[in-house]
Amino acid sequence: MKRILQSIGFLSSAFALTLWISPASAEDGPANVPKPIPKTRSETKKLLGELKDRSPRLPVPETVPGGSNPASSNVINGRARRFYLPESWLQAERWGNEAQSKVSYELKTQCFWVVSRGNNCHYCLGHQEHKLKSAGLSDDQIGALDRNWDSLDPRTRKGVELARKMTVLPFALSDRDVASLKSEYSDAEIVELVYSIARFNSMNRWTDSMGLPQDSQMRGEHIEFDSPTQGRWDQGESLVVAGPDIVRPEPWNWEECQRQIQFAATRTPRVTLTAKEEAAEILKIEPVAVTDWHRAIATLPAAGPEMVRAWTEMISDPELDPKIKAAICWTTARCNRSAGSLSMANKLASQLGVSEQELQDWNSRAPGSIPVGMAKAIAFADKVTCQPTKITDQDIAELRKHFSERQTAHVIYTAATANALDRLTETLGLSVPK
């Protein structure tokens, strides 16, 4: 089974607890009302500070033993991931510590800020605010990320433009978008940047769906957002937030899905990838199992092998029915119009014995055509993909009616990670054999 999952690529107890942070109740506020999207810099900082008072949608303990990343032990996201997710899955998060990184930490953090603003993830946006200030950026420089890209140097501007498009327009990425990066980035840098932005989109969907409150400290430093704001950052329109001019196309229908699976098998990647034999050596897999996805992540030699192992174990973990995970991956790929990811989800479904009729039922979602739990997971995957700014307490409550708390966390994490895969494969134009 593991060999099969590796060939696909992505588809590749007791805790000593003290005080628990309890999940939100109906008394905490309207259960079906999403967070507001701030319009100004001052409003943004006000809402980021207020997030400290939010209650999580799943309970998160104040302490969780173990964990391979001590730096995350004092933030609620680190505790939530270690409590609800197998440790082996978390090795895939090592992209942030890539020893041979070709793209600067500051640039990646600026891109993460833009992604979080576009997805209205207040938790991640607050963290990136703090990181950028710690890196020496002024409030004006951070404000420019939202209002004035003309002030950015060419390399940074191209990076944040890509971050914005991958976030709110993933279905519209083109050869031209990637070609335009090559005046400032090498092919290897493009792969690293695209992978990072894809993962940022995943992290937003995880932390915001979990409803995590803002941390009061990070790495021993207090997190505050009440700094003075110049008036110019409270005027005009955001360059990041999706306006009414952006309308998502409908997810692919069944016939278009079949055409796109054929297309994914024949297209040419938009960048030069690691050679097949070299990728096999870096990732410690057999050359016959290497796909374009493997060749892309082999550009990150320190993190690549762990990602293959983590994502393979994630899809095969029995806590949540693998068929539900396949349905989630199929759904996000249809919604994001990602041909490569769709083909990979189709392969996984085939290996799990899913019939063509079942696949069509995942598309149609006709009442009674699929089990209720799977239908709820598919509906959540659809919404967190197409409308990540509108996830509410009620959305998670609906999942909890049919899944345990841990299974609910796995539904969220699978949908979040699938969104990263969609953006990676489609931005780079990776081919996926049928």
pLDDT at 2 over 50: no
How many folded domains does the chain comprise? 2
- Among 200, 234, 268, where does a domain finish? 234
Residues 256 and 154 in one domain: no
pTM of the model: 0.92
Residues 186 and 54 in one domain: yes
Mean residue pLDDT of the chain comes to: 89
Higher pLDDT, 2 or 325: 325
Q: Yes or no: say if 79 and 164 are a contact pair by the CB < 8 Å rule.
A: no
Reported confidence tier of residue 215, pLDDT bands at 50, 70, 90: very high
Numbers of helices and strands, H then E, in the chain: 20, 4
Look at residue 303 in the predicted model and tell me its pLDDT: 81
- Among 234, 267, 299, where does a domain finish? 234
Per residue in 33-84, pLDDT tens? Answer: 999 999 999 999 999 999 999 999 999 998 877 655 444 557 999 999 999 9
Distance CA 286, CA 327 (A): 28
Task: Output Rg (C-alpha) for the chain, integer angstroms.
Answer: 21
Task: Pick the closest to residue 114 from 161, 154, 47, 153 (CA basis).
Answer: 161
User: Which range is least confidently modeled, 237-251, 261-275, 419-433?
Assistant: 237-251
**Torsional sign, CA 27, 31, 33, 35:** positive
Strands (DSSP E) found in 119-235: 217-218, 221-222
Q: What six digits make up the tokens of 305?
A: 């092998």
pLDDT at 14 over 60: no
Reported confidence tier of residue 29, pLDDT bands at 50, 70, 90: low
Look at residue 22 in the predicted model and tell me its pLDDT: 53
Answer whether residue 23 is part of any domain: no
Answer whether residue 146 is part of any domain: yes
Look at residue 16 in the predicted model and tell me its pLDDT: 31
What is the mean pLDDT of the segment spanning 246-253?
93
Answer whether residue 102 is part of any domain: yes
Residues 167 and 206 in one domain: yes
Q: What CATH number is given to the structural domain containing 413? A: 1.20.1290.10
pLDDT at 106 over 80: yes
HEC readout, 101-113: CCCCHHHHHHHHH
Residues 205 and 307 in one domain: no
pLDDT at 8 over 50: no
Angle at 88 (CA atoms; ends 86, 90), nearest 5 degrees = 80
Distance CA 311, CA 10 (A): 6
Look at residue 319 in the predicted model and tell me its pLDDT: 95
- Among 186, 210, 234, where does a domain finish? 234
Angle separating helix axes 339-351 and 254-264, nearest 10 degrees: 100
**Exposure class string for 390-416: b at 16+ Cβ within 10 A, else e:** ebbbebbbbbbebbeeebbbbbbbbbb
391 phi, psi to nearest 5 deg: -70, 135
Residue with tokens 């507001």, as numbered in its chain: 36
Q: Distances from the Cα of 110 to the Cαs of 95, 130, 143, in angstroms?
A: 16, 11, 11
Residues 287 and 214 in one domain: no
How buried is 276 (Cβ within 10 angstroms: 0-12 exposed, 13-18 middle, 19+ buried)?
middle
Look at residue 66 in the predicted model and tell me its pLDDT: 61
Reported confidence tier of residue 15, pLDDT bands at 50, 70, 90: very low
Q: Which residue type, as a one-letter code, is found at position 164?
A: R
Answer whether residue 340 is part of any domain: yes
Residues 167 and 254 in one domain: no
Task: Pick the closest to residue 413 from 297, 313, 277 (CA basis).
Answer: 313
Residue 120: partners with Cβ closer than 8 Å, 6 or more residues away:
35, 37, 208, 241, 388, 389
Distance CA 181, CA 155 (A): 8
Q: Distances from the Cα of 69 to the Cαs of 210, 281, 314, 325, 329, in angstroms?
A: 20, 26, 19, 26, 28
Residues 91 and 118 in one domain: yes
Residues 125 and 71 in one domain: yes
Residue 424: partners with Cβ closer than 8 Å, 6 or more residues away:
194, 195, 198, 293, 296, 430
Distance CA 345, CA 415 (A): 12
Look at residue 23 in the predicted model and tell me its pLDDT: 61
Look at residue 247 in the predicted model and tell me its pLDDT: 87
pLDDT at 25 over 50: no
Distance CA 313, CA 1 (A): 10
Q: Is 182 helix (H, G, I), strand (E, B) or coil?
A: coil
Answer whether residue 27 is part of any domain: no
Q: Yes or no: say if 37 and 57 are a contact pair by the CB < 8 Å rule.
A: no
Q: Which DSSP state fits 52?
A: G
pLDDT at 94 over 60: no
Answer whether residue 20 is part of any domain: no
Look at residue 5 in the predicted model and tell me its pLDDT: 45
Reported confidence tier of residue 24, pLDDT bands at 50, 70, 90: low
pLDDT at 287 over 80: yes
pLDDT at 17 over 80: no
Reported confidence tier of residue 312, pLDDT bands at 50, 70, 90: confident
Residues 254 and 150 in one domain: no
Distance CA 88, CA 2 (A): 14
Q: Yes or no: say if 267 and 399 are a contact pair by the CB < 8 Å rule.
A: no
The C-alpha torsion from 146 through 215 and 167 to 186, rounded to 10°, is 80
Distance CA 88, CA 72 (A): 16
Answer whether residue 165 is part of any domain: yes
Residues 404 and 284 in one domain: yes
Range of the domain at 149: 34-234
What is the mean pLDDT of the segment spanning 318-327?
96
Answer whether residue 179 is part of any domain: yes
Residues 227 and 354 in one domain: no
Residues 279 and 197 in one domain: no
Q: Is 382 helix (H, G, I), strand (E, B) or coil?
A: helix
